Amino acid sequence: EMQLVESGGGLVQPGGSLRLSCEASGFTSSNFQMSWVRQAPGKGLEWVANINQDGTLRFYMDSVKGRFTISRDNAKNSLYLQMNSLRAEDTAVYYCARDRQCYMWGQGTMVTVSS
């Protein structure tokens, strides 16, 4: 069964850092672009970042450029999101999704930025 499992969320103070992970199983993630999408409490979906199959091309939404870094380790079938200089407005459930068209999603991991 194909599955994506996120981890690494938690409570962090403004200005702090977190690293999210997403482990893929049931398929070879290196064959696909991968994305991060977030959802603030009670709000809609917002695309955050995307990485191509070999990690050489990365795209970000404007508000996270320079603060967030998407990466992957194909040997581990894993995707990451390093989040620095976190702000209250980054509070959200973060989902990883397979490919640019978000074919499948994980269960999400909650990130809360608060003092």
Partner 1 sequence: DVVMTQSPLSLPVTLGQPASISCRSSQSLVYSDGNTYLNWFQQRPGQSPRRLINKVSNRDSGVPDRFSGSGSGTDFTLKISRVEAEDVGVYYCMQGTHWPLTFGGGTKVEIK
Task: Specify the DSSP class assigned to residue 60.
Answer: E
Report if residue 27 touches partner 1, rule: CB under 8 A: no
HSE-CB at 115 with a 13 A cutoff on CA atoms is 3
Single residue of 61, 67, 77, 84 touching partner 1 by CB under 8 A = 61
Single residue of 35, 80, 81, 83 touching partner 1 by CB under 8 A = 35
Q: In the complex, what is the shortest distance from the CB of residue 95 to partner 1, in angstroms, rounded to a whole number?
A: 6
Q: In the complex, what is the shortest distance from the CB of residue 99 to partner 1, in angstroms, rounded to a whole number?
A: 9
Q: In the complex, what is the shortest distance from the CB of residue 103 to partner 1, in angstroms, rounded to a whole number?
A: 6
Tokens at 16, concatenated? 């702090």
- State how far the Cα of 87 lies from the Cα of 1, in Å rounded to an integer: 36
Report if residue 110 touches partner 1, rule: CB under 8 A: no
Using CB under 8 A, which of the segments 24-32, 56-64, 66-74, 76-84 binds partner 1? Answer: 56-64
CB 81 within 8 A of CB 93: no
HSE-CB at 20 with a 13 A cutoff on CA atoms is 32
Tokens at 26, concatenated? 């049931």
The residues of the shown chain that bind partner 1, judged by CB under 8 A, are: 35, 37, 44-47, 50, 59-62, 95, 100-108
